[in-house]
Protein backbone atom coordinates (compact mmCIF):
# COMPACT_ATOMS: atom_id res chain seq x y z
CA UNK A 1 0.00 0.00 0.00
CA UNK A 2 1.54 3.30 -1.11
CA UNK A 3 1.18 6.29 1.18
CA UNK A 4 1.78 10.01 1.14
CA UNK A 5 2.34 11.99 4.33
CA UNK A 6 0.39 15.23 4.55
CA UNK A 7 1.24 18.13 6.85
CA UNK A 8 -1.69 20.23 7.94
CA UNK A 9 -1.29 23.81 9.17
CA UNK A 10 -2.20 24.49 12.77
CA UNK A 11 -5.61 26.04 13.29
CA UNK A 12 -8.01 26.28 16.20
CA UNK A 13 -9.81 23.29 14.71
CA UNK A 14 -6.78 20.99 14.72
CA UNK A 15 -4.95 19.86 17.79
CA UNK A 16 -1.59 19.00 16.18
CA UNK A 17 0.62 21.46 14.30
CA UNK A 18 1.70 18.74 11.89
CA UNK A 19 0.10 15.32 11.73
CA UNK A 20 1.44 12.45 9.68
CA UNK A 21 -1.65 11.37 7.81
CA UNK A 22 -1.76 9.31 4.67
CA UNK A 23 -3.52 8.98 1.39
CA UNK A 24 -4.00 5.28 0.74
CA UNK A 25 -4.33 3.73 -2.69
CA UNK A 26 -5.98 0.54 -3.79
CA UNK A 27 -4.20 -1.63 -6.37
CA UNK A 28 -4.55 0.19 -9.68
CA UNK A 29 -4.02 3.59 -8.10
CA UNK A 30 -7.52 4.61 -6.99
CA UNK A 31 -7.49 6.79 -3.89
CA UNK A 32 -9.37 5.68 -0.79
CA UNK A 33 -9.13 9.01 1.06
CA UNK A 34 -7.75 12.43 0.23
CA UNK A 35 -7.43 15.09 2.93
CA UNK A 36 -7.41 18.58 1.43
CA UNK A 37 -7.75 20.76 4.51
CA UNK A 38 -8.28 20.82 8.25
CA UNK A 39 -12.04 20.33 7.93
CA UNK A 40 -11.38 17.07 6.08
CA UNK A 41 -9.11 16.07 8.95
CA UNK A 42 -11.85 16.87 11.44
CA UNK A 43 -14.38 14.80 9.50
CA UNK A 44 -12.29 11.71 8.89
CA UNK A 45 -9.61 11.35 11.52
CA UNK A 46 -9.57 11.15 15.31
CA UNK A 47 -10.83 14.48 16.55
CA UNK A 48 -12.65 12.99 19.49
CA UNK A 49 -12.71 10.25 22.13
CA UNK A 50 -13.42 11.05 25.73
CA UNK A 51 -12.77 9.06 28.89
CA UNK A 52 -14.04 9.91 32.38
CA UNK A 53 -13.58 8.73 35.93
CA UNK A 54 -15.22 9.93 39.15
CA UNK A 55 -14.24 8.88 42.66
CA UNK A 56 -15.65 9.66 46.10
CA UNK A 57 -16.57 12.27 47.26
CA UNK A 58 -17.67 13.26 43.73
CA UNK A 59 -19.77 10.13 43.30
CA UNK A 60 -22.99 9.15 45.00
CA UNK A 61 -21.99 6.49 47.49
CA UNK A 62 -18.61 4.88 47.94
CA UNK A 63 -18.18 4.00 44.27
CA UNK A 64 -15.80 4.67 41.39
CA UNK A 65 -17.56 5.41 38.09
CA UNK A 66 -15.67 5.07 34.80
CA UNK A 67 -16.85 5.78 31.26
CA UNK A 68 -15.65 6.15 27.71
CA UNK A 69 -16.86 6.87 24.19
CA UNK A 70 -14.79 5.20 21.51
CA UNK A 71 -14.85 7.36 18.39
CA UNK A 72 -13.75 5.61 15.23
CA UNK A 73 -14.54 5.52 11.48
CA UNK A 74 -18.31 5.26 10.96
CA UNK A 75 -18.05 1.99 9.01
CA UNK A 76 -15.94 0.26 11.67
CA UNK A 77 -17.64 -2.43 13.77
CA UNK A 78 -16.94 -2.50 17.50
CA UNK A 79 -17.51 -5.81 19.27
CA UNK A 80 -17.85 -6.68 22.94
CA UNK A 81 -15.91 -9.84 23.81
CA UNK A 82 -15.01 -11.83 26.92
CA UNK A 83 -11.86 -13.84 27.62
CA UNK A 84 -11.55 -15.99 30.77
CA UNK A 85 -8.55 -16.09 33.08
CA UNK A 86 -5.84 -18.47 31.95
CA UNK A 87 -2.45 -19.90 32.92
CA UNK A 88 0.32 -20.02 30.33
CA UNK A 89 3.39 -22.23 30.10
CA UNK A 90 6.86 -20.70 30.28
CA UNK A 91 8.07 -19.47 26.91
CA UNK A 92 4.54 -19.00 25.54
CA UNK A 93 4.05 -16.16 23.07
CA UNK A 94 0.94 -14.05 22.43
CA UNK A 95 0.16 -12.61 19.01
CA UNK A 96 -1.06 -9.04 19.34
CA UNK A 97 -2.37 -7.00 16.40
CA UNK A 98 0.96 -6.82 14.56
CA UNK A 99 3.71 -8.34 16.68
CA UNK A 100 4.25 -11.36 18.91
CA UNK A 101 5.43 -10.81 22.48
CA UNK A 102 6.14 -12.91 25.56
CA UNK A 103 3.00 -14.09 27.32
CA UNK A 104 2.48 -13.57 31.06
CA UNK A 105 2.34 -16.67 33.28
CA UNK A 106 -1.26 -15.79 34.18
CA UNK A 107 -3.82 -13.54 32.51
CA UNK A 108 -6.95 -12.24 34.23
CA UNK A 109 -10.47 -12.49 32.86
CA UNK A 110 -11.38 -9.45 30.75
CA UNK A 111 -14.38 -7.97 28.99
CA UNK A 112 -13.42 -5.70 26.09
CA UNK A 113 -14.98 -3.30 23.61
CA UNK A 114 -12.75 -3.29 20.56
CA UNK A 115 -12.63 -2.58 16.82
CA UNK A 116 -13.34 -6.00 15.36
CA UNK A 117 -10.22 -6.12 13.17
CA UNK A 118 -7.61 -5.98 15.91
CA UNK A 119 -6.38 -7.90 18.96
CA UNK A 120 -6.41 -5.10 21.52
CA UNK A 121 -9.25 -2.93 22.78
CA UNK A 122 -10.40 0.67 23.02
CA UNK A 123 -11.69 0.08 26.54
CA UNK A 124 -12.54 -2.68 28.96
CA UNK A 125 -12.38 -4.09 32.48
CA UNK A 126 -10.96 -7.11 34.25
CA UNK A 127 -12.09 -9.43 37.03
CA UNK A 128 -10.30 -7.27 39.63
CA UNK A 129 -12.38 -4.25 38.54
CA UNK A 130 -9.52 -2.49 36.79
CA UNK A 131 -10.87 -0.33 33.94
CA UNK A 132 -8.80 1.19 31.12
CA UNK A 133 -9.55 3.44 28.16
CA UNK A 134 -7.09 5.05 25.74
CA UNK A 135 -6.94 8.20 23.61
CA UNK A 136 -4.90 9.31 20.61
CA UNK A 137 -2.56 12.20 21.51
CA UNK A 138 -0.18 14.30 19.45
CA UNK A 139 3.46 14.68 20.40
CA UNK A 140 6.37 16.69 19.02
CA UNK A 141 7.84 13.30 18.11
CA UNK A 142 6.37 11.63 15.04
CA UNK A 143 4.21 8.60 15.78
CA UNK A 144 5.84 5.57 14.21
CA UNK A 145 4.22 3.56 11.44
CA UNK A 146 6.69 0.75 12.15
CA UNK A 147 4.68 -2.17 13.48
CA UNK A 148 4.91 -2.50 17.26
CA UNK A 149 2.25 -2.49 19.98
CA UNK A 150 -0.82 -0.38 19.34
CA UNK A 151 -2.21 1.69 22.19
CA UNK A 152 -5.23 -0.58 22.00
CA UNK A 153 -2.99 -3.63 22.48
CA UNK A 154 -1.60 -1.96 25.59
CA UNK A 155 -5.14 -1.51 26.96
CA UNK A 156 -5.80 -5.23 26.73
CA UNK A 157 -2.35 -6.20 28.00
CA UNK A 158 -2.76 -3.90 31.00
CA UNK A 159 -6.11 -5.46 31.84
CA UNK A 160 -4.89 -9.03 31.39
CA UNK A 161 -1.77 -8.55 33.52
CA UNK A 162 -2.62 -6.09 36.32
CA UNK A 163 -4.89 -6.54 39.35
CA UNK A 164 -4.84 -2.84 40.26
CA UNK A 165 -4.46 0.50 38.51
CA UNK A 166 -0.90 1.21 39.58
CA UNK A 167 0.26 -2.20 38.35
CA UNK A 168 -1.43 -1.46 35.02
CA UNK A 169 0.75 1.65 34.73
CA UNK A 170 3.79 -0.57 35.38
CA UNK A 171 2.71 -3.12 32.78
CA UNK A 172 2.12 -0.55 30.06
CA UNK A 173 5.35 1.33 30.84
CA UNK A 174 7.43 -1.87 30.77
CA UNK A 175 5.89 -3.00 27.47
CA UNK A 176 6.50 0.43 25.92
CA UNK A 177 10.15 0.22 26.92
CA UNK A 178 10.58 -3.30 25.59
CA UNK A 179 8.46 -3.31 22.42
CA UNK A 180 7.56 0.31 21.65
CA UNK A 181 4.30 1.66 20.24
CA UNK A 182 3.50 2.03 16.57
CA UNK A 183 1.67 0.72 13.54
CA UNK A 184 -1.47 1.52 11.63
CA UNK A 185 -4.40 2.31 13.93
CA UNK A 186 -7.16 2.19 11.30
CA UNK A 187 -8.21 -0.61 8.99
CA UNK A 188 -7.35 0.24 5.39
CA UNK A 189 -6.22 3.85 5.97
CA UNK A 190 -2.74 4.53 7.29
CA UNK A 191 -2.88 6.55 10.48
CA UNK A 192 -0.63 6.52 13.54
CA UNK A 193 -0.61 8.25 16.91
CA UNK A 194 0.74 8.21 20.44
CA UNK A 195 -1.50 7.22 23.34
CA UNK A 196 -2.80 8.36 26.68
CA UNK A 197 -4.64 6.11 29.14
CA UNK A 198 -7.11 6.56 31.98
CA UNK A 199 -6.90 3.64 34.41
CA UNK A 200 -9.03 3.04 37.51
CA UNK A 201 -9.68 0.41 40.16
CA UNK A 202 -11.70 0.28 43.39
CA UNK A 203 -9.63 2.92 45.19
CA UNK A 204 -7.84 5.22 42.76
CA UNK A 205 -7.19 6.21 39.15
CA UNK A 206 -4.13 7.03 37.06
CA UNK A 207 -3.66 9.13 33.95
CA UNK A 208 -0.76 7.78 31.86
CA UNK A 209 0.40 9.85 28.87
CA UNK A 210 3.05 8.68 26.41
CA UNK A 211 5.29 9.85 23.60
CA UNK A 212 7.22 7.00 21.95
CA UNK A 213 8.67 5.15 24.98
CA UNK A 214 8.59 8.20 27.27
CA UNK A 215 5.72 8.77 29.68
CA UNK A 216 4.35 10.63 32.67
CA UNK A 217 1.66 9.49 35.09
CA UNK A 218 -0.65 11.36 37.45
CA UNK A 219 -2.42 9.73 40.39
CA UNK A 220 -6.06 10.60 41.08
CA UNK A 221 -7.29 9.68 44.56
CA UNK A 222 -10.52 11.65 44.76
CA UNK A 223 -12.83 13.88 42.74
CA UNK A 224 -13.01 13.44 38.99
CA UNK A 225 -10.78 13.45 35.93
CA UNK A 226 -11.31 13.27 32.18
CA UNK A 227 -9.03 12.97 29.18
CA UNK A 228 -9.49 13.75 25.49
CA UNK A 229 -7.19 13.78 22.45
CA UNK A 230 -4.53 15.98 24.04
CA UNK A 231 -1.91 15.82 26.71
CA UNK A 232 -3.35 16.91 30.06
CA UNK A 233 -0.67 16.12 32.65
CA UNK A 234 1.01 19.40 33.51
CA UNK A 235 3.17 19.83 36.65
CA UNK A 236 1.56 17.18 38.87
CA UNK A 237 3.66 14.19 37.84
CA UNK A 238 3.60 11.30 40.30
CA UNK A 239 5.59 8.84 38.23
CA UNK A 240 7.62 9.13 35.02
CA UNK A 241 10.05 7.48 32.65
CA UNK A 242 13.54 7.96 34.18
CA UNK A 243 14.88 9.59 31.01
CA UNK A 244 11.77 11.59 30.08
CA UNK A 245 13.06 15.00 31.21
CA UNK A 246 16.58 14.51 29.88
CA UNK A 247 15.19 13.51 26.49
CA UNK A 248 13.10 16.68 26.37
CA UNK A 249 16.13 18.76 27.35
CA UNK A 250 18.28 17.10 24.65
CA UNK A 251 15.69 17.96 22.02
CA UNK A 252 15.62 21.60 23.08
CA UNK A 253 12.02 21.42 24.31
CA UNK A 254 12.88 22.30 27.93
CA UNK A 255 15.67 24.53 29.20
CA UNK A 256 15.33 23.57 32.90
CA UNK A 257 14.63 27.21 33.83
CA UNK A 258 10.87 26.76 34.07
CA UNK A 259 9.01 24.20 36.14
CA UNK A 260 8.62 21.04 34.06
CA UNK A 261 5.15 20.84 32.49
CA UNK A 262 4.73 17.56 30.62
CA UNK A 263 1.93 18.69 28.33
CA UNK A 264 3.59 21.98 27.47
CA UNK A 265 6.95 20.31 26.79
CA UNK A 266 5.79 17.29 24.79
CA UNK A 267 2.67 18.56 23.06
CA UNK A 268 2.20 20.36 19.76
CA UNK A 269 -0.53 22.48 21.33
CA UNK A 270 0.04 26.21 21.72
CA UNK A 271 -0.92 25.98 25.36
CA UNK A 272 -1.37 22.84 27.40
CA UNK A 273 -3.01 24.14 30.56
CA UNK A 274 -6.30 22.54 31.50
CA UNK A 275 -8.05 25.92 31.36
CA UNK A 276 -7.21 26.33 27.65
CA UNK A 277 -8.05 22.76 26.64
CA UNK A 278 -10.26 21.78 23.74
CA UNK A 279 -14.01 22.37 23.83
CA UNK A 280 -14.87 18.71 24.45
CA UNK A 281 -12.43 18.38 27.30
CA UNK A 282 -13.76 21.53 28.96
CA UNK A 283 -17.40 20.64 28.35
CA UNK A 284 -16.87 17.18 29.82
CA UNK A 285 -15.22 18.65 32.89
CA UNK A 286 -18.04 21.18 33.31
CA UNK A 287 -20.65 18.41 33.22
CA UNK A 288 -18.72 16.43 35.84
CA UNK A 289 -18.43 19.55 38.00
CA UNK A 290 -22.15 20.22 37.70
CA UNK A 291 -22.95 16.79 39.19
CA UNK A 292 -20.11 16.77 41.74
CA UNK A 293 -21.09 14.78 44.80
CA UNK A 294 -23.95 13.09 42.92
CA UNK A 295 -22.16 11.42 40.00
CA UNK A 296 -23.64 8.05 39.08
CA UNK A 297 -23.59 5.70 36.10
CA UNK A 298 -26.56 7.63 34.70
CA UNK A 299 -24.54 10.86 34.95
CA UNK A 300 -21.73 9.42 32.85
CA UNK A 301 -24.18 7.89 30.36
CA UNK A 302 -25.82 11.29 29.90
CA UNK A 303 -22.42 12.88 29.28
CA UNK A 304 -21.49 10.19 26.76
CA UNK A 305 -24.80 10.79 24.96
CA UNK A 306 -24.30 14.55 24.74
CA UNK A 307 -24.06 15.65 21.12
CA UNK A 308 -23.98 19.41 21.59
CA UNK A 309 -20.57 19.16 23.29
CA UNK A 310 -19.23 16.87 20.57
CA UNK A 311 -18.60 14.11 23.10
CA UNK A 312 -21.13 11.94 21.27
CA UNK A 313 -19.62 12.23 17.82
CA UNK A 314 -21.54 12.00 14.53
CA UNK A 315 -20.39 11.93 10.92
CA UNK A 316 -17.59 10.12 9.10
CA UNK A 317 -15.86 9.72 12.44
CA UNK A 318 -18.39 8.80 15.12
CA UNK A 319 -18.97 7.15 18.48
CA UNK A 320 -18.93 3.45 17.57
CA UNK A 321 -19.00 2.01 21.09
CA UNK A 322 -19.48 3.17 24.68
CA UNK A 323 -18.72 1.83 28.15
CA UNK A 324 -19.68 2.79 31.72
CA UNK A 325 -18.48 0.94 34.82
CA UNK A 326 -19.61 1.22 38.44
CA UNK A 327 -17.14 -0.20 40.95
CA UNK A 328 -17.93 -0.12 44.70
CA UNK A 329 -14.98 0.47 46.99
CA UNK A 330 -16.18 -2.44 49.13
CA UNK A 331 -14.28 -5.47 47.72
CA UNK A 332 -17.17 -7.76 48.71
CA UNK A 333 -19.46 -6.08 46.18
CA UNK A 334 -19.36 -6.74 42.44
CA UNK A 335 -18.54 -4.16 39.79
CA UNK A 336 -21.04 -3.66 36.99
CA UNK A 337 -19.74 -2.89 33.51
CA UNK A 338 -22.13 -1.56 30.88
CA UNK A 339 -21.39 -1.75 27.14
CA UNK A 340 -23.42 -0.70 24.11
CA UNK A 341 -21.69 -2.80 21.43
CA UNK A 342 -23.41 -0.51 18.90
CA UNK A 343 -22.82 3.01 17.52
CA UNK A 344 -24.22 6.21 19.02
CA UNK A 345 -25.06 5.79 22.73
CA UNK A 346 -28.09 8.06 22.27
CA UNK A 347 -29.78 5.29 20.29
CA UNK A 348 -28.18 2.35 22.09
CA UNK A 349 -28.80 0.36 25.26
CA UNK A 350 -26.08 0.16 27.92
CA UNK A 351 -26.12 -3.54 28.78
CA UNK A 352 -24.70 -4.82 32.10
CA UNK A 353 -21.93 -7.35 32.58
CA UNK A 354 -20.71 -8.80 35.91
CA UNK A 355 -17.63 -11.00 36.33
CA UNK A 356 -18.63 -14.44 37.64
CA UNK A 357 -17.53 -17.98 36.88
CA UNK A 358 -18.62 -19.91 33.79
CA UNK A 359 -19.22 -16.94 31.48
CA UNK A 360 -19.06 -17.94 27.83
CA UNK A 361 -18.14 -15.84 24.81
CA UNK A 362 -20.68 -13.10 24.08
CA UNK A 363 -21.79 -14.39 20.70
CA UNK A 364 -24.27 -11.65 19.77
CA UNK A 365 -21.53 -9.01 19.93
CA UNK A 366 -18.75 -11.21 18.57
CA UNK A 367 -17.75 -10.51 14.95
CA UNK A 368 -16.85 -13.18 12.39
CA UNK A 369 -13.31 -14.57 12.71
CA UNK A 370 -11.24 -14.96 9.55
CA UNK A 371 -8.15 -16.45 11.18
CA UNK A 372 -4.95 -16.28 9.19
CA UNK A 373 -6.98 -15.39 6.08
CA UNK A 374 -7.86 -12.04 7.64
CA UNK A 375 -6.47 -9.18 5.48
CA UNK A 376 -5.00 -7.70 8.68
CA UNK A 377 -2.83 -10.80 9.13
CA UNK A 378 -1.58 -11.04 5.53
CA UNK A 379 1.28 -8.97 4.15
CA UNK A 380 0.93 -6.55 2.52
CA UNK A 381 -1.87 -5.81 4.96
CA UNK A 382 -5.33 -4.35 4.33
CA UNK A 383 -5.66 -5.41 0.69
CA UNK A 384 -9.37 -6.00 1.25
CA UNK A 385 -11.95 -5.25 3.92
CA UNK A 386 -14.27 -8.08 5.02
CA UNK A 387 -17.71 -7.69 6.54
CA UNK A 388 -17.17 -7.72 10.31
CA UNK A 389 -20.73 -6.97 11.44
CA UNK A 390 -21.83 -9.02 14.45
CA UNK A 391 -25.48 -10.09 14.96
CA UNK A 392 -26.42 -7.20 17.28
CA UNK A 393 -24.79 -4.67 14.96
CA UNK A 394 -26.85 -5.94 12.01
CA UNK A 395 -30.12 -5.63 13.94
CA UNK A 396 -29.18 -2.25 15.36
CA UNK A 397 -28.27 -0.96 11.90
CA UNK A 398 -31.85 -1.56 10.74
CA UNK A 399 -33.33 0.05 13.86
CA UNK A 400 -31.03 3.08 13.57
CA UNK A 401 -32.36 3.64 10.05
CA UNK A 402 -35.94 3.45 11.34
CA UNK A 403 -35.20 5.93 14.14
CA UNK A 404 -33.77 8.33 11.58
CA UNK A 405 -36.51 7.97 8.97
CA UNK A 406 -39.70 7.36 10.98
CA UNK A 407 -40.07 9.88 13.80
CA UNK A 408 -43.14 8.34 15.46
CA UNK A 409 -41.92 4.77 15.45
CA UNK A 410 -38.36 5.89 16.17
CA UNK A 411 -39.44 7.74 19.31
CA UNK A 412 -41.33 4.68 20.50
CA UNK A 413 -38.28 2.48 20.00
CA UNK A 414 -36.06 4.93 21.86
CA UNK A 415 -38.54 5.18 24.76
CA UNK A 416 -38.65 1.40 25.09
CA UNK A 417 -34.87 1.16 24.88
CA UNK A 418 -34.54 3.65 27.75
CA UNK A 419 -37.18 1.78 29.73
CA UNK A 420 -35.23 -1.47 29.36
CA UNK A 421 -32.01 0.27 30.36
CA UNK A 422 -33.56 1.80 33.49
CA UNK A 423 -35.03 -1.56 34.50
CA UNK A 424 -31.62 -3.21 34.18
CA UNK A 425 -29.92 -0.45 36.13
CA UNK A 426 -32.45 -0.78 38.94
CA UNK A 427 -31.77 -4.51 38.98
CA UNK A 428 -28.00 -3.89 39.08
CA UNK A 429 -28.41 -1.44 41.96
CA UNK A 430 -29.45 -4.34 44.17
CA UNK A 431 -26.22 -6.20 43.35
CA UNK A 432 -24.11 -3.07 43.82
CA UNK A 433 -25.64 -2.45 47.24
CA UNK A 434 -26.12 -5.96 48.63
CA UNK A 435 -23.89 -8.23 46.57
CA UNK A 436 -24.69 -11.36 44.57
CA UNK A 437 -26.78 -13.98 46.34
CA UNK A 438 -26.64 -16.39 43.41
CA UNK A 439 -23.86 -15.87 40.85
CA UNK A 440 -25.46 -18.27 38.39
CA UNK A 441 -28.28 -15.78 37.81
CA UNK A 442 -25.91 -13.30 36.13
CA UNK A 443 -23.76 -15.68 34.06
CA UNK A 444 -25.81 -14.77 30.97
CA UNK A 445 -26.69 -11.24 32.10
CA UNK A 446 -25.22 -9.41 29.10
CA UNK A 447 -26.52 -11.88 26.53
CA UNK A 448 -30.02 -11.96 28.03
CA UNK A 449 -30.16 -8.17 28.00
CA UNK A 450 -29.33 -8.27 24.29
CA UNK A 451 -32.27 -10.65 23.79
CA UNK A 452 -34.51 -8.14 25.54
CA UNK A 453 -33.04 -5.34 23.42
CA UNK A 454 -33.82 -7.28 20.24
CA UNK A 455 -37.36 -7.83 21.49
CA UNK A 456 -37.71 -4.05 21.83
CA UNK A 457 -36.59 -3.69 18.22
CA UNK A 458 -39.16 -6.16 16.94
CA UNK A 459 -42.16 -5.17 19.05
CA UNK A 460 -41.91 -1.36 19.11
The pLDDT tens digits for 256-311 are 999 999 999 999 855 433 333 478 999 999 999 999 999 999 999 999 999 999 99
The pLDDT of residue 291 is: 98
The pLDDT of residue 190 is: 84
- What are the residue boundaries of the structural domains of the chain, listed by start? 1-45, 48-344+360-365
**Is the pLDDT reported for residue 21 higher than 60?**
no
Average pLDDT, rounded, for the chain: 89
The pLDDT of residue 279 is: 85
**Is the pLDDT reported for residue 47 higher than 80?**
no
Rounded-to-integer distance, Cα 428 and Cα 342, Å:
21
The pLDDT of residue 16 is: 35
CB atoms within 10 A of CB 101: 16
Q: Is 76 exposed, middle or buried (0-12, 13-18, 19+ CB in 10 A)?
A: buried
Chain segment 151-174, per-residue pLDDT in tens: 999 999 999 999 999 999 999 999
- Residue 378: partners with Cβ closer than 8 Å, 6 or more residues away: 372
The pLDDT of residue 188 is: 81
More confident residue, 29 or 352: 352
Angle at 148 between CA 145 and CA 151, to 5 degrees: 90
Look at the domain 48-344+360-365 and name its fold: Penicillin V Acylase; Chain A (3.60.60)
411 close to 404: Cβ distance less than 8 angstroms:
no
| The three-state (H, E, C) secondary structure of the chain, written as one string | CCEEEECCCCCCCCCCCCCCEEEEECCCCCECCCCCCHHHHHHHCCCCCEEEEEECCCECCCEEEEEEEEEEECCCCEEEEEECCEECCCCCEEECCCCEEECCCEECCEEEEEECCCCCCCEEEECCCCEEEEEEECECCCCCCCCCECHHHHHHHHHHHCCCHHHHHHHHHHHHHHHCECCCCCCCCCCCCEEEEEEECCCCEEEEEEECCEEEEEEECCEEEEECCCCCCCCCCCEECCCHHHHHHHCCCCCCCCCCCHHHHHECCCCCCHHHCCHHHHHHHHHHHHCCCCECHHHHHHHHCCCCCCCCCCCCEEEEEEEEEEEECCCCCCCEEEECCCCCHHHCCCEEECCCCCCCCCHHHCCCCCHHHCCCCCCCCCCCCCCCCCHHHHHHHHHHHHHHHCHHHHHHHHHHHHHHHHHHHHHHHHHHHHCCCCHHHHCCHHHHHHHHHHHHHHHC
- Please indicate whether residue 49 is annotated as part of the active site: yes
| Mean pLDDT (whole number) for 185-192 | 89
Of residues 141, 134, 136, the one with CA closest to residue 184: 136
Rounded-to-integer distance, Cα 125 and Cα 200, Å:
9
pLDDT band for position 54 (cuts 50, 70, 90): very high
| Mean pLDDT (whole number) for 15-39 | 34
Angle between helices 445-459 and 407-434 (to 10 degrees): 160
Q: Which of 21, 49, 96, 131 is catalytic?
A: 49
Amino acid sequence: MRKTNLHLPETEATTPRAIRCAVSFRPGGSQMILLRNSSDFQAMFPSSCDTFVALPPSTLGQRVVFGKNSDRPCDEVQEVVYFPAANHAAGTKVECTYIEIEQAPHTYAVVLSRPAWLWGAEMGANEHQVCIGNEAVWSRDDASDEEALLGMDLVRLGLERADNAQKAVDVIAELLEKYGQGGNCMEGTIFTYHNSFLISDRTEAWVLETSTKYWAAEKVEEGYRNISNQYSITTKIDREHPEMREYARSRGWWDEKDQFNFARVYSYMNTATIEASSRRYCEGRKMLEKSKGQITAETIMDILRDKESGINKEGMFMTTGSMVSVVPRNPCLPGVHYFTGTPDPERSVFKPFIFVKDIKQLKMTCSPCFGQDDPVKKKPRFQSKPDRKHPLFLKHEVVAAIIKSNKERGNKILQNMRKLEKEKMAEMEKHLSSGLEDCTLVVHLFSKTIEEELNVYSTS
